[in-house]
Amino acid sequence: MAETNKKSNIAVLINTYLRPSEVFIYEQIRAVTQYNVHVLSRSSTHNPAFEHEHVHTIADNNKMEALCYTLTRNSPYFNKTIKEHNIRLIHAHFGTEGVYALPLAKRNCIPLITTFHGHDITRLPKATVWPISWAQYYLHFTELKERGTVFLAVSDFIKKRLIERGFSEDKIITHHLGIPIPKLPTAAKDTLSIVTVGRLVEKKGTEHVIRAMKVVSESFPDAHLTICGDGPLRANLEQLVDALKLKNNITFAGWKTKQEILDILAKASVFVLPSVTAQDGDCEGLGMVLLEAMSVQAPVIGTYHGGIPEAVKDGVNGYLVKERNPQEIAEKIIYLLNNPAVAVKMGTEGRKIVEANFNIAIQIKKLEGIYSKFVG
């Protein structure tokens, strides 16, 4: 095939390729068809679940250079890779990575697209020495605003935050990441199964669904909450479960693969995403697992938080409640357990919403259209 007929090469830049909670980035990379996607990363987890044919990792090539890159944002290895593969565009995930991509884009005269996901704009960069990447973010945040080519917001909520922080509205595009649409589930629902999924940090609000289960268990003694995920708050949350005498009603399932989570969600009577604004301002951009629950027809309970109301239509495919309100969460869970026909209808509506607005096949075509404006 002649060179002119080959697909253009673009690069996705991510600090670590790839954390378990960032499967949505992998799905986006793998879904692109019109371009060859190369990954530029400082380090790699070497997780076989994220296998990709074009991953260029500094630490695998030169650990000292990886350290220098962290400190200076300069990488001869990345510059060499960009030239060797004729990379035409860099797409950085997270604002923190965007500031690291800036020198690469400038040196190689190529456009830079940065996707903002949540904490990278809701939790403002502050003067700090650790972690070093956030120190760099603080120092070069204004430069990113001024020199970045395009900024993608994963929700209208994030777009609004970007504008509030001084980003030019003309450069911002709301682009929902989207998810692969699974086959319709055939497994029967576990009639008293409640599920929540997420890293065990303050933002995810796991404490509040645990407290809600105390109320739910009074009406449904056999109701059971499965908590999928892990994180720094796990020990505290386990102590809370003990204190509330809910060990028979709550299981900490730890990290699960994407397929395992989908299987668990498919059997759930109710999915709860009780997200809250953390003390440091950290917010959800949207909550990808919310979309996954909707895709397998689970009725959902979310909070009036971040981009969640862009996916959950109160009373249509689930319910929205105020942040940090276990009583409201409990009331909605109890209602859905008492009214399975309503739960089924909401699950069906949720699937329709995902198919229409969050189908990765559709969203990738939109993303490729954005790329084409700069690459051709």
- State how far the Cα of 376 lies from the Cα of 371, in Å rounded to an integer: 8
Structurally, the chain folds into a number of domains equal to 2
Strands 112-116, 300-303: parallel, antiparallel or unpaired by DSSP? Answer: unpaired
Q: Clarify whether residues 225 and 291 are in a common domain.
A: yes
Q: What pLDDT was estimated at residue 144?
A: 97
Q: Clarify whether residues 111 and 247 are in a common domain.
A: no
Q: Clarify whether residues 291 and 365 are in a common domain.
A: no
Q: Clarify whether residues 158 and 227 are in a common domain.
A: no
Q: Provide the CATH number for the domain around residue 104.
A: 3.40.50.2000
Q: Clarify whether residues 144 and 13 are in a common domain.
A: yes
Q: What pLDDT was estimated at residue 153?
A: 98
Rounded to two decimals, the pTM is 0.92
Rg (CA), the chain: 21
**pLDDT (tens digit, 0 to 9) for every residue of the chain, 376 residues total?**
334 448 999 999 999 999 988 999 999 999 999 999 999 999 999 999 999 999 999 999 999 999 999 999 999 999 999 999 999 999 999 999 999 999 999 999 999 999 999 999 998 766 665 789 999 999 999 999 999 999 999 999 999 999 999 999 999 999 999 999 999 988 788 889 999 999 999 999 999 999 999 999 999 999 999 999 999 999 999 999 999 999 999 999 999 999 999 999 999 999 999 999 999 899 999 989 999 999 999 999 999 999 999 999 999 999 999 999 999 999 999 999 999 999 999 999 999 999 999 999 999 999 999 999 999 6
219-223's contacts with Cβ under 8 Å and 24+ in sequence apart are: 219/334, 219/337, 220/192, 220/334, 220/337, 222/192, 223/192, 223/194, 223/249, 223/333, 223/337
Structure tokens at 159: 């777009």
**CA-based nearest residue to 120, from 132, 134, 130:** 134
Q: Which amino acid is at 107?
A: R
Query: 90 - beta bridge partners?
Result: 11, 112
State the sign of the Cα–Cα–Cα–Cα dihedral 260, 305, 341, 218. positive
Q: Clarify whether residues 155 and 50 are in a common domain.
A: yes
Q: Clarify whether residues 155 and 250 are in a common domain.
A: no
- State how far the Cα of 184 lies from the Cα of 232, in Å rounded to an integer: 34
Q: Clarify whether residues 17 and 88 are in a common domain.
A: yes
Q: Clarify whether residues 352 and 363 are in a common domain.
A: no
Q: Clarify whether residues 330 and 367 are in a common domain.
A: no
Is the residue at 184 inside a domain? no
Containing structural domain, residue 283:
193-357
Q: Clarify whether residues 71 and 145 are in a common domain.
A: yes
Q: Clarify whether residues 162 and 197 are in a common domain.
A: no
Is the residue at 185 inside a domain? no
Helices 23-31 and 360-375 meet at what angle, rounded to 10?
70
- State how far the Cα of 223 lies from the Cα of 246, in Å rounded to an integer: 10
- Cα of 29 vs its chain's centroid, Å: 14
